[in-house]
Amino acid sequence: MGEVLLECKHLKKYFSVPNGMLHAVDDVSFSLEKGKTLGVVGESGCGKSTLGRTILRLLPHTDGEVIFEGQNILQYSGEQMKRLRTKMQIIFQDPFSSLNPRYTVFDTIEEPLKIHKVYKTQSEVYGRVKELMEVVGLAARYENAYPHELDGGRRQRIGIARALALNPSFIVCDEPVSALDVSIQAQVLNLMMDLKDSLGLTYMFITHDLSVVKHISDDIVVMYLGQIVEKANGNDIFAHPLHPYTKALLSAIPLPDIKYKGKEAETIKGELSSPINPSPGCRFAPRCPKATEKCTACNPALKNMGSDHWVSCHLYD
């Protein structure tokens, strides 16, 4: 195993809502090696974006630890966090709403450099912005363009350049290609993977779409209603999914190179249930075709089935 950059230990993020406690992230643990990509997959509402934001301390946590480079950053003071922000960044889903419409491309990429006072002179700042534009494949002629004048792919390149401005080592990529046309998705994904290799980045790649992370993830965790239900090496997840929910997600992928079809295919019915005051059983039970009485009585723990392939399901007790 390589050097661990980030480790989550029993991380919880609850929200107090009028009718109880919403368990958005509920006892999530995993580790992420330096230079690797962790895919975090699940339906909208499963807590994956909240997980990313809690790790980055954009949201306060409820319990647990986030160990980054050996330190529990949930204990950091505001000043320590300000220094850490240069190392941990986020790329958002919708580049249009995450960019200030009154800022040009140059203003947007320049902003973090100014906030963190990285350079002493404006010419150094200018040089760095031009360098970042080149790195993400934005032509120099767009320097004074506004977000509404650009297509989705170029807008997301601005978001990537901005995230890279401070030379981070870890980036949470929150559905970074979901709002883009399919033809542009591949270009942006390829750019992100090239940057990961050339700059030695570590990614946590959040998506609702397993097919998006197939080619880019070293490891994958599958989340359901705030909890990890399966985690393993990406190839293992695609070749030998264990959890009925993972099987259902794979069955729904319409790509010919993803072969998980046929007799074992599962379908899920109904909607994600509410994460408010969850019942004690398996959270997938209301939609699971294999559910038994035991499933509604107690929530299965994550178990290592060998080769670091973990699953939480009573079928494997």
**Interface with ligand SF4 (CB under 6 A), residue from 95, 159, 168, 244:** 244
Q: Which of 63, 100, 99, 67 is nearest to 84 (CA)?
A: 67
In the complex, least distance from residue 125 CB atom to ligand SF4, rounded to whole angstroms: 52
Window contacting ligand SF4 (CB under 6 A); options: 66-74, 233-241, 255-263, 286-294: 286-294
Residue 287: half-sphere exposure toward Cβ, Cα within 13 Å: 20
Is 225 near ligand SF4 (CB under 6 A)? no
CB 162 to ligand SF4: min, Å? 40
Q: Which stretch binds ligand SF4 (CB under 6 A): 64-72, 77-85, 260-268, 288-296?
A: 288-296
DSSP class per residue in 242-270: -SHHHHHHHHT---TT----STT-----S
Q: Is 300 in the site for ligand SF4 (CB under 6 A)?
A: yes
- The residue among 88 and 229 lying less far from ligand SF4, judged by its C-beta, is 229
Binding flag, residue 241, ligand SF4 (CB under 6 A): no
Min CB(287)–ligand SF4 separation in Å: 8
Binding residues with ligand SF4: total (CB under 6 A): 13
Is 272 a residue that touches ligand SF4 (CB under 6 A)?
A: no
Residue 284 in contact with ligand SF4, rule: CB under 6 A: yes
Out of 290, 302, 305, 309, name the contact with ligand SF4 by CB under 6 A. Answer: 290
One-letter amino acid at 134 equals E
Q: Please identify which residue in 26, 47, 288, 310 interacts with ligand SF4, judged by CB under 6 A.
A: 288
- Nearest-approach distance from CB 291 to ligand SF4, in angstroms: 4
CB neighbour class for 208 (10 Å; exposed up to 12, middle 13-18, buried from 19): middle
Task: Identify which of 269, 266, 254, 213 has the alpha carbon closest to the alpha carbon of residue 237.
Answer: 213
What would the two tokens of residue 170 be? 């870890």
Least separation in angstroms between CB 85 and ligand SF4: 38
Q: What angle do CA 13, 17, 23 make, to 5 degrees?
A: 30
SS3 24: strand
Dihedral sign computed on CA atoms, order 40, 46, 49, 54: negative
- Residue 291 in the binding site for ligand SF4 (CB under 6 A): yes
**285 is a contact residue toward ligand SF4 (CB under 6 A):** yes
Using alpha carbons, select from 257, 255, 237 the residue that is nearest to residue 305: 237
- Which tokens is 306 given? 């060998």
Regarding 313 and contact with ligand SF4 (CB under 6 A), the answer is yes
Q: Least separation, in Å, of the C-beta of 243 and ligand SF4?
A: 6
Helix axes 182-199, 152-164, angle to 10 degrees: 20
203 binds ligand SF4 (CB under 6 A): no
Q: Closer CB to ligand SF4, residue 179 or residue 291?
A: 291
Nearer to ligand SF4, 195 or 313 (CB): 313
Q: Please enumerate, as own/partner, the contacts of 184-191 that have beta carbons within 8 Å and a separation of 24 or more.
A: 184/151, 184/152, 184/153, 185/212, 187/153, 188/153, 188/156, 188/157, 188/160, 189/215, 189/216, 191/136, 191/137, 191/157, 191/160
Binding site for ligand SF4 (CB under 6 A): 243-244, 282, 284-285, 288, 290-291, 295, 300, 313-315
